[in-house]
Amino acid sequence: MKYIPKLSRYENIEYEQCGRSGLKLPPISLGLWYNFGHVDVFENARETIFTAFDNGITHFDLANNYGPPPGSAEENFGRILRDDLVGFRDEIVISTKAGWDMWPGPYGDFGSRKYMIASLDQSLTRLGVDYVDIFYHHRPDPQTPLEETMGALDYIVRSGKALYVGISNYPSQITAEAVGILEDLGTPCLVHQPKYNLLNRQSEKTGLFDLLQERGIGCVAFSVLNGGLLTDKYLNGIPDGSRASIPGHWLKKLLDEETKTKIEKLNDHAAKRGQTLAQMAIAWVLRQDGVTTALCGASHPNQVHDNLVALDNKNFSEKELKKIDMILGDTEL
Ligand SMILES: NC(=O)c1ccc[n+]([C@@H]2O[C@H](COP(=O)([O-])OP(=O)(O)OC[C@H]3O[C@@H](n4cnc5c(N)ncnc54)[C@H](OP(=O)(O)O)[C@@H]3O)[C@@H](O)[C@H]2O)c1
């Protein structure tokens, strides 16, 4: 059946300026790392994207290697753009990335100019678009000079293949250097994409948020539910079909007794706020100054609905925040 986006899609959502740029992002964005590849049920992926777009989620985050198989999330998203979202490209912010292993040989990984530009060309083909809105370098490359990788990002914007560029997983020190190089080249760094959630507070501890705010750079916080651990789904074991139930998945190893206890206590605390744990985890990320959007994954449209409810209560009292710090054992922060 032909998809017609809801006319009311912009009525209940407030967009945030991404750093010192003109680009606004929704408070919650949808990530396509898992659940949108060729191994997944296409109709479910399609419905999840429609649910997001119908509720004002305009930002969809991809990478060259998302699937599985790698590249297939871009192909599926391209198919949906072409078949269902035709006419809506200008209402959508598409991001993609390069930086992880993508094809065999010495030119399919990390951060050389050769890899970055070839990878984006491949992504554009898979997505069936002329440009992406944001192109990221996915992780620092210890071997390629930073000037070369940033030079590739600068070229990519000048060639019209991306409107903005960003970096992901860069620690504070390399972020400062990368941002300086991009500034000198005349292509500002729009955004950083770090991992940030209740169980991973590195970006606070290392001063990354302070740096981003000083330099006017937006922040797309990823894995805000820690892959699903910060939801109520693992409170009574590992349910079938969940990410941790995938044989050999690293998420299962994170579910030790200490983490389970923290999750139970956080879940009780969320209930006192009238929220699910997922909703509180998202609201908690959004409380951080400098975070522009909470980038969430979803395996079903209902999860998108559930997560959007987080926006109804984003405020935390000092007492609530202290309680959370105590549960996490982060009292020194
Ligand atoms: N830049 C990077 O290096 C990087 C790295 C990782 C991720 N990312 C980006 O961040 C996005 C999100 O990452 P992520 O998938 O790890 O994130 P996440 O948002 O922490 O976890 C998403 C998972 O949580 C579960 N979930 C979501 N909402 C739920 C709800 N309301 N109730 C119960 N369970 C719920 C689902 O797990 P089930 O599948 O088990 O249902 C879903 O797949 C990625 O898609 C990608 O775009 C970027």
The domain locations on the chain are 22-193
pLDDT for res 186? 98
Q: ∠ CA(325), CA(57), CA(136), 5° rounding?
A: 75
CB-CB contact of 148 with 110 (8 Å)? no
Say how many CA atoms lie within 13 Å of 162 toward its Cβ. Answer: 28
Tokens of 322: 């202290």
pLDDT for res 330? 74
Question: Atom of ligand 1 at shortest distance to CA of 306?
Answer: 31
Beta bridge pairs of residue 294: 28, 221
**Could you count the other beta carbons within 10 Å of the beta carbon of residue 189?**
28
Q: Is the pTM of this model over 0.95?
A: yes
Beta bridge pairs of residue 165: 135, 189
Q: ∠ CA(163), CA(169), CA(173), 5° rounding?
A: 100
pLDDT for res 1? 77
Q: Mean pLDDT for each consecutive 10-residue tract of the chain (333 residues)?
A: 94 97 98 98 98 98 98 98 97 98 98 98 98 98 98 98 98 98 98 98 95 98 97 93 90 91 96 97 98 98 98 97 93 51
Residues with CB under 6 A from ligand 1: 31-35, 61, 138, 168-169, 193, 222-228, 231, 233, 242-243, 278, 295-299, 303, 306-307
What is the rounded CA–CA span in Å between residue 176 and residue 163?
21
Q: Is 252 exposed, middle or buried (0-12, 13-18, 19+ CB in 10 A)?
A: middle
Beta bridge pairs of residue 132: 162
Top mutation candidate among 48, 57, 77, 225 for ligand 1, by most atoms within 8 Å of CB:
225
What is the rounded CA–CA span in Å between residue 225 and residue 273?
17
pLDDT for res 295? 98
Q: Rg of the chain's alpha carbons, rounded to an integer?
A: 19
Q: Which of these CATH numbers, 3.20.130.10, 3.40.50.1820, 3.20.20.100, 3.30.390.30, describes 22-193? A: 3.20.20.100
pLDDT for res 331? 56
What is the rounded CA–CA span in Å between residue 64 and residue 124?
10
Beta bridge pairs of residue 219: 192
Question: Atom of ligand 1 at shortest distance to CA of 61?
Answer: 47
pLDDT for res 304? 98
pLDDT for res 333? 47
CB-CB contact of 173 with 166 (8 Å)? no
Which residue has the CA at smallest separation from atom 28 of ligand 1? Answer: 303
